[in-house]
Amino acid sequence: MGGMRTAGDLVARVQMTKKLRINEAKKYVADKLKIDVKELSDPIIMSEVRSDLGFGIMMPLGGVPKGLECKFNIARVLDLDINCLNRFKTKAGLA
């Protein structure tokens, strides 16, 4: 699906954590992002969506969310439990 270029990493996260098959996982992500399923694989649309929501982009230059920052945004918008964020909160005394 193109990973961070589009929504592939997001769909994969949903498949892994919710054990959803591809069509259900795509619909889940599309509904959360308020876009059409077909738009999930379009790099033009998804680069804008990812930038707007702070999900991480292919060329993360200065000032844009990166790494863990993006994962917090992904977890919040997609309503996902991301394992490394739980660890971060524990280690940072935020849990």
Residue ranges binding other proteins (CB under 8 A): 1-5, 8-9, 11-13, 15-17, 19-22, 25, 37-38, 40-42, 55-56, 58-59, 66-68, 70-71, 74, 81-88
Cβ distance to other proteins smaller for residue 34 or 81: 81
**In whole angstroms, how far apart are CA 8 and each of 11, 15, 38, 55?**
5, 10, 12, 12
Provide the minimum distance between the beta carbon of 31 and other proteins in the complex, in angstroms, as a whole number.
Answer: 15
What DSSP assignment string belongs to 3-38?
GGGTTHHHHHHHHHHH---HHHHHHHHHHHHTS-GG
Q: Which is nearer to other proteins, 34 or 66 (CB)?
A: 66
